[in-house]
Amino acid sequence: MLESLRVENSGVPIYVQIRDQMLRAIGAGELKPGDQMPTMRQVAVSLKVDLNTVKHAYDELEKSGAIKVLPARGSFVAERPPAPAPEEQAARLADLAQRTIAIARSAGIDPAALAERIAAITRGEDHEST
């Protein structure tokens, strides 16, 4: 996992880059529920960034429910939560869709093309195409 982490001088905050790369690894199944995450110190040393930056990324991951931080034990990929009630799921889905559309547009990506890519990945048709 550590060897795949990279930070770029792109204007995107480093903690966001770390958080997003961890989320991608979880989403792609590289990190599975129950897997232990690299320690914050390992990530900081590997990327040559401040420990507080990595802590910020891990805090964001914990807030989103992607990881669990267990004091004196480490950080672990969270188990998949049970499905929320239909009304709550609809609200979460709408919120996530709106945020994803905004992120895509701010990156110059057509949201419809992104939706098609997400559908292909979900179906297992993970072919790199741009």
Q: pLDDT category, 129, cuts 50, 70, 90?
A: very low
* Residues across the chain: 130
The pLDDT score that the predictor gives to residue 34 is: 95
Q: Where are the domains of the chain?
A: 2-77, 86-122
Identity (one letter) of the amino acid at 130? T
Is the pLDDT at 130 greater than 60? The verdict is no
Q: What are phi and psi of 11, to 5 degrees?
A: 90, -15
The pLDDT score that the predictor gives to residue 126 is: 64
> Could you confirm whether domain 2-77 is CATH 1.10.10.10?
yes
pLDDT tens digit sequence for 64-85: 889 999 999 999 999 986 677 8
Round to whole Å and give the CA distance between 8 and 18.
Answer: 10
pLDDT tens digit sequence for 2-36: 788 889 888 889 999 999 999 989 888 889 999 99
b/e for 70-80, b at 16 or more Cβ within 10 A?
eeeeebbbbee
Q: pLDDT category, 123, cuts 50, 70, 90?
A: confident
Please give the distance of CA 55 from its chain centroid, rounded to a whole number: 15
The pLDDT of 102-121, averaged and rounded, is 91
